Structure 1
Amino acid sequence: MTQNPELRTHQKPIPYGRQYITEDDIQAVVETLQSDYLTQGPKVAQFEEAFAKYVGAKYAVACANGTAALHLCTLALGVGEQSRVITTPITFVASANCVRYCGGTVEFCDIDPATALLDVEKVRQLVESKPKGYYSGIIPVDFAGNPVNLEAFRQLADEHGLWLIEDAAHSPGGSFIDSQGEKQRCGNGRYADLSIFSFHPVKHIATGEGGMVTTNDEALYQKLLLYRTHGITRDPELLEENHGGWYMEMQELGYNYRIPDMLCALGLSQLQRAEAGLARRRGIAKVYDRAFSSVVGIQTLKTTPAAMHEEETGHAYHLYVIRVEDRKGLYDYLREHKILAQVHYIPAHTMPYYRGLGYREGDFPAAEHYYEECLSLPMYPSLTQEEQKFVIEKVIEFVQR
């Protein structure tokens, strides 16, 4: 592969991810800025309705960010000091922290080395090692955009009376095929009690900051609405008293997790391009796959099939992760050439906070070994073919030297 001299000497840094903002996006925000509502206005409900339709869920609740979405889920499910919740160590720490916010106990479980997803069989072993009722729920993560098999987790959860929160922050538009051969879209509420999404700039749909919870459970939906806005309701049908049109009641201890109308306007505009962006991400992944398939020393993560054909994927490709023996060396080498690859993630149980709760290195060997080798390469719709070619060239150059 011939190196492009212009890229070598003059290229701008190539990040692992970046937002893509169009003139339509800007105009949508400007129109909202010029409207009567900057927050608590009609764009919030419009974004919720459009997003629920996109993933195939009955209800959606927009909020301040993905972490707030996770916290709202644990609040709605009644997580408290007696709750023990299982999740993966290979995730952003918010997937675990939401349990701690409510005073619950986090128990990590190891990953499947082939996919880096929470291993359902290891979770089963953990659950069945304790008396029934010991655990409250499970938070599987669609890591990198690769959907977990929620049907398998639902079966386990039903056997032991557990709830499921799907952390789908990486996978809007992603899907997997269930045992009946049906496509199940991430966040559609078919198997998870609640699912969350993030609209951080590097995600598929960027609002700056923002999050969404989806569900098919009306009772949980009403709780999410209440906790999102200080625990306050103005709904006449829910009020214990009613003093007049001004009256409202704080019925629970909630939070200010609202999202402004300007951000929802941006989200609505971005959502119109979601499928095109997803197709582009999958196209970039195919180019990486072909380039690395026969290179000794580079491993890619196994993808969950989304159809009966192995070639058709439901992977949403928030990240494209490779594994190499000298990860630190490759990371530094790429940065020397202005390729800003990133590491996802430092295992959560090795963070000082969780070490302080009793976790130690060596607890989850598959997750820790994965961390020693993983590197996320540039993956975003506006990545050019020339830029991707340069990234591939430098990765292979380092591995083969």
Structure 2
Amino acid sequence: MHYDAIILGAGGAGLLAAATAGQAGATVLVLDHADRAGKKILISGGGRCNFTNLGIEPQCYLSENPHFAKSALSRYTQWDFLALVEAHGIAWHEKTLGQLFCDGSAKQIVRMLLDECARGGVDIRLSTTLGDIRHADGLFHVAGHSARQLVIATGGPSIPKMGATGRAYDIARDFGLGVVAPRPALVPFTLGAEDNLFTEVTGIATPATASVNGARFDEAVLFTHKGLSGPAILQVSSYWRPGDPVSLDILPEAASLLRDARRRMPRAHLKAALAEHLPNRLAEALARRIGLATELGNLSDTALDRAAATLTALTFHPTGTEGYAKAEVTAGGIDTAGLSSKTMEATSCPGLYAIGEAVDVTGWLGGYNFQWAWSSGAACGQAIAARKG
């Protein structure tokens, strides 16, 4: 059968694009090698899907072109997707920092998208091997089907156990599009022997400000047997490059807090002062790293200030990250320089589109990447419908 569009990938971006185009009258086929639609949606948010964020803004996204996401995000907003969620009777709640989750299950979001596709008469075929993709006689040919328009919505290689691959980049290159070097993002760091002091605090989490290359996030940091994780670390990992140091402000206002502790308990040691504000094992590890073995009453202001400087700028040098296996998303991807920010269409290959995680647009942790999937999918779906028939 000949379609107006074939969409490669039955994830969030692909399904939203398909539903949008289908309901506007386009004939759409969605192909995916997976045996279920929306596999990444199903595991997201602990199974409850952090489907968007109330604080969506363009500056919450990374890209070689930081302006690229503005158009799509402004034309299909978090409020638009939330209205769709509510129209389907899906109960939701705000967790923290504007993050919206289903009260029930992520399955509700997948079912909603599939119902929307059904309303548009979308044909979805799973467990399908894509094989070679050709463009001839004005048509794209995939797995025995043809269409005037083709959408790359196969995501990135993050979470390979779900079947994720870098196929999107191969397809893009085949049609002359550039690819910004992909890398794991929203991913834990690994630490080397020089930071082994902190292996004994495995499992401890504490609020902190994590900083990398000028990016700062105030959330929890988790010490793991491999290195550093937790929301603040995942956030800054998207801005990290090999060799960059990571700084943690573990105890804001440490200087005044330590002076106060010296006044109140001059015979106590640094560990006791830190344990008033931090988990005990972490306080002990930090006290050893700082190395002040005498009583607080014997420490000068200068010594306390040096200790405070360590606590407010605790520096680590990651040896790397835990890679795509633990990365929530992929940074980099299909170069936006070759795409229209309004339609997501390739400027050098009319009828070819790229959306969602496959594109060099990466959001913060907390529903931002799903919103990019919805917004880029909606922009693409509208463009497909405008060229139907």
TM-score by length of 2: 0.23
Which of the two has greater strand per residue?
2
Question: Larger Rg: 1 or 2?
Answer: 2
| Structure of higher RCO (CA pairs closer than 8 Å, 6+ residues apart) | 2
